[in-house]
Chains A and B, each alone.
Chain A
């Protein structure tokens, strides 16, 4: 949500520079960001058109004044209702695996409890306020609309629950103090997600390597790509009936988006922690050293693929690939010959990035089949039916 907000601020008519937009977001009142999150949520029209209820009633609209706030000019266009203007939960999952949230939690604790990390600048104090609100559930006027409550007070446990339900996956680490995590593990979870997902990546790699192959044996199989993508879509949609998990996805994307923005450049808190570097991973590693918690060793790959994985999963889940003849959407980089002018670009570049970085992060070679198909001659000739 944060990255999309900056992208909208850079678009016409405001045409801000990236750094100017980032500076405004980093220095804003946390209430403005939360208000914008509600504005994005309301614009999404989660339950569809009337007669279904809208997320915000007239009373709430009047109370929150949806037309005010620092980011009101950047509310998504109403014509985009139904299209989530935030990242897929997969984005949050891979970014959370870097351990960024737990490292930032220690930074907040250190700054709020003493001066061991130095005197925070004005901008860092602002960052602390926003971080406590967005990531750690500090009280704010919009608390009732957050995904936390007395029943489920821990934001990290809520995200773990969502990851488990949608992907059948847990994070690669336990709690901040290395204890096993405690969260409600739902019985209905997509336990086979990762197997299907990696099979799809393998088939897409076969297709990518054969894009320019016009005469040789072509190992790409559009029908199989479609079938696997469809299986993945069914699995994801099974957990999304009546827009379940959407609210949790938005809150997670906002929290992890804030962590990503913090580490995307030498932001004030990075500078105050003397963690200036040229990549998000290096910044996180240096901050981790300051607070005594190391990030995931494959964080570089996790940061690199987060945005592309979000796009990839959104397209798969949206059902754009509705048949084998449209499987190319997932692996080409330009529309095929004969496409009408103005045709949307396929997402081959994102798929390629996900394949490379997923292989790097998991250590699995997705470019070769895990278990090769055995081609042995039969030990005895097959018996024909009725043969004597």
Chain B
């Protein structure tokens, strides 16, 4: 005849089961907490990045505004100063062949070599003999 388990043993097993179950939940809770923390950190990072982007964007928008002001200012200044360019010299190219030839010939007639860096002018010479050093050679048809 089989012996029935006692009530204390049953209660122990139930407690164990309950304990196991509670341990499992705790692990899940821990995991969930960890996940939540990670999400918070990520969120903070995103916010920081967003903040940086906002700052960069605002700077860019400010610069373009300065550029815009400067460009418009210069254009306006250039328009105002345009009449001065007409007062400046009016240079007409030489189209008359005779004038061009006269100028070219004057420039050519005053051309000169460049002497920058000139050093010794090489002039080959031999030692000069004294009187009496050179012996005259008799001509073939002369007899001594």
Contact = CB atoms under 8 A, between A and B. Distances in A.
Q: Do A and B bind each other?
A: yes
Interface of A: 3-4, 6-7, 10, 18-19, 21-23, 26-27, 80, 83-88, 121-123, 207, 210, 213-218, 220-222, 264-268, 271, 276, 278, 280, 307, 310-311, 314-315, 318, 320, 322, 324-329, 332, 335-340, 342-345, 347
A220 B88 contact: yes
Interface of B: 78, 81-82, 84-85, 87-95, 99-107, 109-115, 118-123, 125, 128
Contacts of B81: 215-216
In the A-B complex, the 9 residue pairs with the smallest Cβ-Cβ separation, listed nearest first, are A265-B118, A339-B93, A344-B104, A325-B92, A3-B112, A311-B110, A264-B115, A218-B88, A336-B91
Given A266-B119, A326-B92, A18 B84 contact: no
A332 to B, nearest CB: 7
A28 to B, nearest CB: 11
A328 B94 CA distance: 10
B125 A123 contact: yes
A6 to B, nearest CB: 6
A222 B89 contact: yes
Nearest to A346: B103
A311 B107 contact: yes
Contacts of B84: 215-218
Contacts of B89: 207, 218, 220-222, 324, 327-328
B40 to A, nearest CB: 61
A4 B103 contact: no
A73 to B, nearest CB: 17
Contacts of A221: 89
A83 B99 contact: no
A265 B119 contact: yes
A84 B112 CA distance: 14
A327 B120 CA distance: 41
A271 B120 CA distance: 8
A311 B104 CA distance: 11
A280 to B, nearest CB: 8
A3 B93 CA distance: 31
B109 A265 contact: no
A213 B84 CA distance: 11
Contact of A314 (B93, B99, B106, B120): B106
Given A215-B78, A265-B118, A4 B109 contact: yes
Contacts of B88: 210, 213-214, 218, 220
A10 B111 CA distance: 11
A332 B123 contact: no
Contact of A268 (B95, B113, B118, B121): B121
Contact of A6 (B91, B104, B113, B122): B113
Nearest to B97: A340
19 contacts: A4-B109, A4-B112, A7-B111, A7-B112, A18-B115, A123-B125, A265-B118, A266-B118, A278-B119, A307-B110, A320-B99, A325-B92, A327-B89, A335-B93, A336-B93, A338-B93, A340-B100, A344-B94, A344-B104
